[in-house]
Amino acid sequence: MVEKKLGKGLSSLIGFSKKDEIIMISVDRIKPSAFQPRRRFDQKSLSELAESIKAKGVIEPILVRVGKNGDYELVCGERRWRASKFAGLEKIPAIVKNLTDEEAFEISLIENIQREDLTPIEFALAFDKLIKMGYQHEDIAKKVGKSRSWVTNMLRILKLPENVKKLIDEGKISLGHAKVLCSIEDKDLVEELAEKIVKDGISVREVEEILKEKRQKALPFPIKEKIKSKIQKVFPESDLKIKQRKDNKIEIRLIVSKESIL
C-alpha cells in the first residue's frame, strides 16, 4: 500500500528558497519552542545522534525564528539541537525564518508527523491546540494528510482517565487498544481493561471480546450511574467502584476518609 503523503509538504509551508542563508548560531542562544508537540525525547537515541554529530557534524540545518532578547526559538530540529549540546558543539547550522505562532506550530507538528515521532497523546494534544487556534477537524485532516475520522478518534483519547492516558503516552497501550477504550462510557471498566492490557498483554481483538461479553452481562450503565449518584450524595469525596459479579449480585467498594463519617 502506498502511504498517503501530507496535504502540504514542509517545503511549501516553510517557503525555503535558494536565497535562504545558513548561519552558525550558538547552541546557548537557542530556546525550545512552546509549540513543540513532542514532549518526550529518548535519551539513548539522543546519545546515538550525538555520537554521529561528533563524527560527521550536523548535516541538516535546524529551523529557528527570532525570539526575545535577541535569542532564537526552535521551530524544527530539536533532536539535532539537543544532541549537538550533548556532543559539546558550541554552534549549530541554522536557517532563520520570520514565522507567526500559528506557522511555527504547524511546521513543527507536520515535521514530527512526517518523522512519525509523536505518541497518540502528543498527536491528540497537538490537534487540541489547533482546535483552540480555530481549526476544524476537516482542516486538520487536510493539513496532516489523514482522514477526518482519524483526527476525531485521536482527539477522543483526551477524554480517557489520566492514568490510562499516561499508559498510552508511555507506549504500554497501543493506539488500537486506545480506540476500543474510547468507546466505553464506564470509567471503571476502562481502567480495568487498561490494567489487563498492560498486565496480560491481551490483543485488541481479545479486548473487544471481553468488552462484548461484559456488555451482555453488565448492569445497565444508567442504573449503575444512579446507584453511584445516590452514594456520592452522602459521601461526595469517596472513591467508589461498582461492578456486577458473576452471581448477578452488585458489588460496591467504597473508600472514604475518617472525617467524612464522623
> What is the pLDDT tens value at each position of the chain, 262 positions in all?
333 333 444 444 455 555 678 899 999 999 988 777 776 777 888 899 999 999 999 988 999 999 878 899 999 888 899 999 999 999 999 999 988 888 888 888 777 776 666 788 988 988 888 888 888 999 888 887 889 999 999 999 999 999 999 999 988 999 999 999 999 988 888 999 999 999 999 999 999 998 888 776 665 556 667 777 777 776 676 677 777 665 666 777 777 676 666 5
Indicate if 18 and 105 belong to the same structural domain.
Answer: yes
Residues 83 and 64 in one domain: yes
What order of strands is seen across the sheet that includes strand 62-66?
Answer: 22-26, 91-96, 62-66, 72-76, 30-31
Long-range contacts of 247-256 (CB under 8 A, 24+ apart): 250/219, 252/227
DSSP tag of 70: G
25 three-state secondary structure: strand
pLDDT computed for residue 219 by the predictor: 55
The CA-atom distances, in angstroms, between 124 and each of 120, 129, 155, 169 are 6, 9, 5, 11
Per-residue pLDDT tens for 211-238? 888 776 665 556 667 777 777 776 676 6
Phi-psi region of 222 (alpha: psi -120 to 50; beta: other; left: phi over 0): alpha
Residues 102 and 25 in one domain: yes
Specify the pLDDT at position 16.
52
Provide the domain count of the chain.
3
Regarding whether 56 and 27 lie in a shared domain, the answer is yes
| 228, part of any domain | yes
Q: Is the pTM of this model over 0.85?
A: no
User: Is the Cα torsion angle 10, 15, 16, 18 positive or negative in sign?
Assistant: positive
Do 174 and 241 lie in a common domain? no
Domain match, 196 and 227 both: no
Domain contains 23: yes
What per-residue confidence (pLDDT) applies to 130? Answer: 84
The reply to whether 38 and 71 lie within a common domain is yes
Check residue 94 and give its pLDDT.
Answer: 94
Residue 178 sits in the same domain as residue 91: no
Residue 35, domain member (yes or no)? yes
Separation between Cα atoms, residue 165 and residue 50, nearest integer Å: 31
Domain boundary among 217, 237, 253: 217
Same domain for 23 and 94, yes or no, is yes
Mark whether 17 and 62 lie in a shared domain.
yes
**Adjacent-strand bridge partners of 64:** 74, 96
User: Is the domain of 14 the same as that of 113?
Assistant: yes
Structural domain that includes position 171: 160-217
Q: 148 in a domain, yes or no?
A: no
Which residue, of 89, 118, 147, is where some domain finishes? 118
Whether 5 maps to a domain, the answer reads: no
- CA torsion 120-7-16-39 (nearest 10°) is -10
User: Do the domain assignments include residue 149?
Assistant: no
So what's the pLDDT on residue 2?
A: 32
Measured between its terminal Cα atoms, the distance across the chain in Å is 65
- Alpha carbons 259 and 252: distance in angstroms, whole number: 21
**Positions marked active-site:** 78
Grid coordinates 558543539 are at which residue? 89
Query: How many residues can be counted in the chain?
Result: 262
| Domain contains 133 | no
Residue 199 falls within a domain, yes or no?
A: yes
Same domain, 78 and 28: yes
- At residue 4, the pLDDT reads 36
Radius of gyration of the CA atoms of the chain, in A: 24
Q: Which CATH number is 56's domain given? A: 3.90.1530.10
